[in-house]
A and B are shown apart, each in its own frame.
Chain A
Amino acid sequence: SQQGEEDPQALSIQEGENATMNCSYKTSINNLQWYRQNSGRGLVHLILIRSNEREKHSGRLRVTLDTSKKSSSLLITASRAADTASYFCATMDSSYKLIFGSGTRLLVRP
């Protein structure tokens, strides 16, 4: 079953702009992860943030986690056309199962 919701469902931006996606979840978590999926293909792990962390960076990616609000955000800075993909947050529950959010479809226009 789906753990949480992401918004927006779809996002269209110009190359060079920043993209922000939000994720909300329902239950307590061990960690929260973000994955990218190019159209109809497998998922690629982007970043993991533990429940006791508030912010994490990886290259052009910045992830925040607010466990009091049960929410996370993914910021992609200086976007490129190659960033066009679907982005999913996923939470790991107490039985180590990964449960994905509804996803955000990002389109970066050249």
Chain B
Amino acid sequence: DTEVTQTPKHLVMGMTNKKSLKCEQHMGHRAMYWYKQKAKKPPELMFVYSYEKLSINESVPSRFSPECPNSSLLNLHLHALQPEDSALYLCASSQDGGMSTDTQYFGPGTRLTVL
């Protein structure tokens, strides 16, 4: 199974809502990532979890809160978002996160719209 799944596929939320994005992989990977991608732009790294510990936070605003309940799951909790946070949110996983030949496997993304 070389698949990373993400739910939901689409999410529309108001600025006062609280919602969560979910990501799951069953490849035994120990590194998981959240990226944000605006239209016609490259993905930008938000967070990296390695062995279930947050290892990189790219100065992301606190209205985004990541969580890694176990080695297969990664959540992104959203609260009090702004319209400019509307984007495609991509989850990825890789075997280790600390190897120079690490390949990342991406999920299909969650298309988020903040009204």
> Could you list which residues of chain A lie within 8 angstroms of chain B, going by C-beta atoms?
1-2, 30-31, 33, 35, 40-45, 48, 50, 88, 92, 95-103, 105
Q: Which residues of A contact B106 (CB under 8 A)?
A: 35, 42-44
Contact B98 A96, beta carbon cutoff 8 Å: yes
B72 within 8 A of A: no
Contact B88 A33, beta carbon cutoff 8 Å: no
Contact B100 A43, beta carbon cutoff 8 Å: no
Q: Which residues of B contact A100 (CB under 8 A)?
A: 42-44
What is the CA–CA distance of A98 and B105 in the complex, to the nearest angstrom?
A: 12
Cross-chain pair count, CB within 8 angstroms: 58
The B interface is mostly helix, strand or loop, or mixed, namely: loop
What is the CA–CA distance of A105 and B92 in the complex, to the nearest angstrom?
A: 22
Given A40-B88, A42-B4, A50-B100, the answer on whether A97 and B107 have CB atoms closer than 8 Å is: no
On chain B, the number of residues with a Cβ less than 8 Å from chain A's Cβ atoms is 26
B99 within 8 A of A: yes
CB of B33 to closest CB in A, whole Å: 8
Closest 4 CB pairs of A and B: A100-B42, A30-B100, A42-B106, A43-B106
Contact A98 B42, beta carbon cutoff 8 Å: no
Contact B100 A97, beta carbon cutoff 8 Å: no
CB of A70 to closest CB in B, whole Å: 17
By beta carbon, the residue of chain A nearest B88 is A40
What is the CA–CA distance of A99 and B33 in the complex, to the nearest angstrom?
A: 12
